[in-house]
Amino acid sequence: MKNIQNIKLKPTATIREALAVIDSGAMQIAIVVDDENRLLGTLTDGNIRRGLLSGLSVDGGIKDIYFKTPTVAKMSDTKEEILKVALAKKLHQIPIVNELNCVLGIVEIDELIKPKDKTNRVVLMAGGLGTRLGELTKTTPKPMLHVGNKPILQTIIENFSKYGYTNIIISVNYLSHVIEDYFGDGSTLGVSIEYIHEKERMGTAGALSLMRNLLKEPFFVMNGDLLTNVNFEHLHDFHKSQEAIGTMGVREYDFQVPYGVVNIEDGRISSITEKPTHKFFVSAGIYMLSPKALSLIPDGEFFDMPSLFEKIINEDNKALSFPIHEYWLDIGRINDYEQANSEYYEVF
């Protein structure tokens, strides 16, 4: 949110004064307010040009040319809500007001769209064999299979980069040269990539023991064979605000029993439920961990994420779930791979 002190105008201002304010403010807009700082309207160089073309003098007043019903936002509005309105109405700035309609600042939409670079690292697990995909992974690591027009891993990296997370660590093992040759140092994608080589497969958490010195602040861990459009910034904010040691992205999974379930008490049938559906939460393969979690990981051993979260829980540290309602697909089997290709362009 930008300060508006230097772009304020009173409704009695002249067009000449408005031009000076718009020019000096470098935001291409002026805010018209009353003596109580209540928003009366906005004024752009477009409004001024139309006024001058209609015959007004630069020494004339702005009262007839400023826009008196501007779109505004509240402090409580999320970035997504503001963006949705701005893009729908093709706005470049939106004033922020309080409940009394007093102006608090102004949001520039270009600034909202542009991600702010964050120092938090993203660890991508890309060392698996992908044996369930058969011939597809004989010469290609699963994260490098093309979905849409690019490798799965590239879509993952681009999605993190979209939210400003550009410090990437890729844990590699099987056919690691294919990944390293394709991405290099990441500069072609506008990110920085480092590689950690697992000499033996160490599990989704075990490989983190090889990079302790790199992980000094909360970091993401994600399997390299997932496609999702989850908002990584929301996951980060949730983890940070709750002061968690480990936050696990979870996905609701439904399982329908294909038979009528007979409920029995003391040998007697108490009820029959026809083909009930059971709902569970399962790990989505997306995590955020605080550096403290690294002390719970043994050196040089196979260690997976469920074991790490069990340790976090057993030591009375905070382990939280983050439900993922957005698109999510684990590409583990041939039919998952086919589904991903059929949905890719619609989703991404």
Q: Which residues are catalytic?
A: 275
Are 185 and 210 a contacting pair, CB within 8 Å?
no
3-state secondary structure labels for all residues of 98-163: CCCCEEEEEEEHHHHHCCCCEEEEEEEEECCCCHHHHHHHCCCCHHHCEECCEEHHHHHHHHHHHC
3-state SS, residue 330: strand
CA count, 13 A, side-chain hemisphere, 278: 8
Are 189 and 158 a contacting pair, CB within 8 Å?
yes
- CB atoms under 10 Å from CB of 315, counted, come to 12
- Cβ burial 262-297 (10 Å sphere, 16+ → b, else e): eeeeeeeeeeeeeeeeeeeeebbbbbbbbeebbebb
The candidate with the shortest Cα–Cα distance to 4, out of 132, 97, 69, 92, is 97
| Phi-psi sector, 54: left (phi>0), alpha (psi -120 to 50), beta | alpha
The candidate with the shortest Cα–Cα distance to 161, out of 118, 196, 223, is 118
The candidate with the shortest Cα–Cα distance to 101, out of 34, 47, 43, is 34
